[in-house]
Chain A
Amino acid sequence: MARTVTTQRKILTTAAAWTICLIIFFPIYWTILTSFKTEAQAINDPPLFFAFDWTLENYAIVQERSDYMKFLRNSVIIAGGSTILGILIAIPAAWSMAFVPSRRTKDILLWMLSTKMLPAVGVLYPISLIFVRFDLLDTRGGLMVVIMLINLPIIVWMLYTYFKEIPGEILEASRMDGATLKEELLYVLTPMAIPGIASTLLLNFILAWNEAFWTLNLTAANAAPLTAFIASYSSPEGLFFAKLSAASTMAIAPILILGWFSQKQLVRGLTFGAVK
């Protein structure tokens, strides 16, 4: 970095950034903390920040009531499957829009986004009827396809913006050298596009993981993911903050950990001049 940064300034920015980030993170921190309290401690006045007996009781109760692993597996399969499926369909589309643009490219992009504008609840009956008709209710495959279609416009969009940043001259040069379309895709484009593809993958995995309308309305016992798991803890009778916190922590932990490890990738992917 060319700019010289005084230590004083660095201390200031560090302090400011940490204060803000702790405020933003506080609700999540509080949820995780509460999950280790008893129900009585969870509503203690004044609130307990540190001094309480940590307990795993809530996790035990939640696990006893519902098989976490089953919901987790469904979440992973549905979110992962829909993302991979979406990427496979979107890459060629985004590639052709970015490198062989026509007058209608922008219109098609906007049209794709507009398919997301019909509110989900407005098409609850049509989609439910279709699912019943084709016996897709409560199947992971059916959900995978629906969620893929919901996110496809976003995937195409993101990939398009990444691909657009890849200098066309490089592709042209490789074409001059006699590279076939296949080689061009594989050896020239892919390495340059990997960060963009990776962050698209991640972002869509998160969106699919958090989708809570269709995953609740089109499942029963077999294909229900973590969103359904949460729906059974949201307001039972009696005190429930601690149990809700435990269930919430279990539902967001995998994605939080994934995000933690891929944070660099996520930022780098977006940094790759995607939106300059």
Chain B
Amino acid sequence: MATKASRSAARIMMAPAVVLLLGWMLVPLIMTLWFSFTKYLPLRGDSIERGLDWVGIANYARFISSSSFWPAVQTTLIMVGGVLLITVVLGILLAMLLDQPMWGQGVVRILVIAPFFVMPTVSALVWKNMLMDPVNGIFAHLWRFFGAEPVAWLQDASLSSIIMIVSWQWLPFATLILLTAIQSLDSEQLEAAEMDGAPVIKRFWYIVLPHLARAITIVILIQTIFLLSIFAEIFVTTGGAFGTRTLTYLIFQRVIDSQNIGLGSAGGVYAIILANVVAIFLMRIVGKNLDA
């Protein structure tokens, strides 16, 4: 359908976005790659002006052989997977509930969406200090009210706690996207199935879920990208202790705490590789929905 003219017009129209993103990607990436092959310890006086010593793949070898590396990868995957699972499952259920007629639908929807508007730092602080604090937190009061011993959430259930906080932040996003998808579902089709006496589970499995496939794909893709770089929630709550050190957080420690830019940059390159592995993996599973 496209004519030659519209093709070249299309190319011109795409150019700004592509060129900008290419620059945005390439310049820092090339610098990161360069740093990752050098000894760059700013607190020891290394700087670009003085010239950085080339050290080959030493940083890469050191980063991957560190005892923190594989646990960090594992933590990252558990965190991302856990949040995805919770937000998608609860998101579908919530979206189906919110789709039903009810009183005060508008208010309910805005209240459900609200957590998405809260800055990550703020939500981490609020959860840590006002809800999960083992002495003064609401949960502790609730537990004591029922005669139970308060739980030290961020110490004894650290990873699950962080998954909970992050899920709370991202559930609205998933719900919103899934809700709009459900709304476009042909209600006559459902009714017909209902008349035929198909049980709820079957109706959900054969009609609702396939309809949501594309929306779920988008939720998973976009969330994965944001979740892989989760940072503020860990920084504020556990500071990476108790098995909550993700790959991103490990890089943070190398760059900021240790001020070892070369090592941190090598870690950054590993993070890109991991992100792409995850992305390819996701594409294989859910990518086909995108063409639909």
Q: Say what secondary structure dominates the interface of chain A.
A: helix
Name A5's closest neighbour in chain B (CB-CB): B101
Check B115 for interface membership: any CB of A closer than 8 A. yes
A23 CB to nearest B CB, Å: 10
Q: Which residues of B contact A18 (CB under 8 A)?
A: 104, 108
Q: Known: A2-B187, A17-B97, A276-B184. Contact between A122 and B32, CB under 8 A?
A: yes
Point out the residue from A17, A122, A153, A245 that lies within 8 Å of B21, measured CB to CB.
A153
Check B109 for interface membership: any CB of A closer than 8 A. yes
A contacts with B, residue count (CB < 8 A): 96
Q: Which residues of A contact B279 (CB under 8 A)?
A: 110, 113-114, 117
Check A255 for interface membership: any CB of B closer than 8 A. yes
A18 and B281 alpha carbons, distance in the complex (Å) = 38
Check A170 for interface membership: any CB of B closer than 8 A. no
What are 8 A-B contacts with C-beta separation under 8 Å? A20-B112, A27-B115, A89-B16, A126-B28, A227-B121, A248-B125, A267-B179, A275-B214
B126 touches A31 (CB 8 A): yes
A122 touches B104 (CB 8 A): no
Q: Known: A100-B10, A259-B117. Contact between A118 and B272, CB under 8 A?
A: yes
Point out the residue from A46, A47, A90, A123 that lies within 8 Å of B32, measured CB to CB.
A123
A92 CB to nearest B CB, Å: 3
Point out the residue from B122, B179, B225, B252 that lies within 8 Å of A230, measured CB to CB.
B122
A125 and B271 alpha carbons, distance in the complex (Å) = 16
Q: Which residues of A contact B138 (CB under 8 A)?
A: 30, 47
A residues lining the B interface (CB < 8 Å):
1-3, 5, 9-10, 13-14, 16-18, 20-22, 24-25, 27-28, 30-31, 34, 43, 45-47, 89-90, 92-93, 95-97, 99-100, 102, 106, 108, 110, 112-127, 129-130, 149, 152-154, 156-157, 161, 168, 172, 181, 206, 209-210, 212-213, 226-227, 230-231, 234, 241, 244-245, 248, 251-252, 255-256, 259-260, 263-264, 266-267, 270-271, 273-276
Q: Which residues of A contact B228 (CB under 8 A)?
A: 117, 119
A230 touches B13 (CB 8 A): no
New A-B pairs, 6, CB < 8 Å, besides A96-B9, A130-B27: A2-B188, A10-B103, A125-B40, A129-B48, A210-B119, A276-B184
A108 touches B18 (CB 8 A): yes
Point out the residue from A13, A46, A113 that lies within 8 Å of B101, measured CB to CB.
A13
Point out the residue from A113, A181, A264 that lies within 8 Å of B225, measured CB to CB.
A113
A125 touches B261 (CB 8 A): yes
Q: Which residues of B contact A244 (CB under 8 A)?
A: 125, 129
Point out the residue from B119, B122, B176, B231 that lies within 8 Å of A121, measured CB to CB.
B231
Q: Which of B154-162, B197-205, B215-223 contacts the other chain? A: B215-223
Q: Known: A115-B21, A120-B231, A241-B129. Contact between A260 and B110, CB under 8 A?
A: yes
Q: Which residues of B contact A27 (CB under 8 A)?
A: 115, 123, 126-127, 130-131, 168
A25 touches B32 (CB 8 A): no
A264 and B13 alpha carbons, distance in the complex (Å) = 31
Check B118 for interface membership: any CB of A closer than 8 A. yes
A100 and B211 alpha carbons, distance in the complex (Å) = 26
A17 and B93 alpha carbons, distance in the complex (Å) = 11
Point out the residue from B2, B18, B113 that lies within 8 Å of A93, measured CB to CB.
B18
Check B134 for interface membership: any CB of A closer than 8 A. no
Name B106's closest neighbour in chain A (CB-CB): A263
Name B253's closest neighbour in chain A (CB-CB): A121
A274 CB to nearest B CB, Å: 7
Which residue of B48, B102, B211, B214 has the most chain A CB atoms within 10 A of its CB atom? B102
A18 and B105 alpha carbons, distance in the complex (Å) = 9
B176 touches A100 (CB 8 A): no
B138 CB to nearest A CB, Å: 6
Q: Which residues of A contact B77 (CB under 8 A)?
A: none
Check B80 for interface membership: any CB of A closer than 8 A. no
A275 touches B125 (CB 8 A): no
A21 and B115 alpha carbons, distance in the complex (Å) = 11
Name B173's closest neighbour in chain A (CB-CB): A203
Name A130's closest neighbour in chain B (CB-CB): B27
Q: 5 tightest A-B contacts by CB?
A: A122-B268, A96-B10, A92-B13, A117-B275, A93-B17
